[in-house]
């Protein structure tokens, strides 16, 4: 189905696009999932969106790095279930920072319903980063 056909069908159904930041920020919730970079290798994958949490197809439109604890070049990668790369972004941090900003994609990446989304990091040293993912539903 083309994107235009999908948009027309959504209008007929009365659906509209909804953007949600995961993990969902609410009372007592800290933005982002903490991922740790390995020293020259990938750190462990951390779950950002649990499997079965989004029961319709969805699109990843970008990710945020909310905080970090160290200055170094780092690559953050977003994946489906720790296996299929969705997108990545590279930063060369010069100081401990917060709210670094959003890495967006020119075309949102379509993800199958019920997929688990994970994040991981790689840098020159073992440092931590809080990562959030922006998701659109109803496209």
Q: What would the pLDDT profile of 101-128 be if each residue is shown by its tens digit?
A: 788 887 889 999 999 999 999 998 999 9
Mean pLDDT of 9-14: 68
User: Is 84 part of any domain?
Assistant: yes
User: Is 12 part of any domain?
Assistant: no
User: Is 33 part of any domain?
Assistant: yes
User: Is 10 part of any domain?
Assistant: no
Could you list the residue range(s) of the whole structural domain that residue 76 is in?
19-137
User: Is 13 part of any domain?
Assistant: no
Mean pLDDT of 89-105: 78
- 75 and 89 in contact (C-beta within 8 Å)? yes
What pLDDT does residue 84 have? Answer: 93
Residue 81 clears pLDDT 90, i.e. is over it: yes
For residue 95, give the CATH number of its domain: 2.60.120
Mean pLDDT of 35-39: 91
User: Is 46 part of any domain?
Assistant: yes
User: Is 131 part of any domain?
Assistant: yes
What pLDDT does residue 100 have? Answer: 75
Q: How many domains does the chain have?
A: 1
Task: Identify the CA nearest to 115 among candidates 75, 77, 84, 87.
Answer: 84
What pLDDT does residue 72 have? Answer: 87
User: Is 11 part of any domain?
Assistant: no
What pTM was computed for the model?
0.84
Task: Identify the CA nearest to 92 among candidates 124, 62, 120.
Answer: 124
């Amino acid at each position: 189905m083309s994107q235009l056909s999908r948009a027309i069908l959504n209008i007929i159904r009365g659906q509209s696009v909804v953007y949600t930041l995961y993990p969902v920020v609410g009372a007592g919730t800290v933005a982002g999932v903490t991922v740790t970079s390995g020293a020259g290798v990938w750190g462990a994958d951390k779950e950002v969106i649990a499997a079965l949490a989004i029961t319709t197809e969805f699109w990843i439109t970008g990710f945020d790095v909310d905080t970090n604890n160290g200055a170094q070049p780092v690559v953050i990668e977003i994946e489906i279930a720790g296996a299929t790369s969705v997108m990545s972004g590279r930063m060369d941090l010069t100081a401990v920072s917060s709210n670094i900003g959003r890495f967006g994609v020119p075309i949102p990446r379509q993800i199958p319903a019920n997929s688990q989304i994970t994040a991981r990091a790689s840098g020159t040293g073992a440092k931590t980063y809080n990562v959030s993912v922006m998701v659109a539903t109803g496209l």
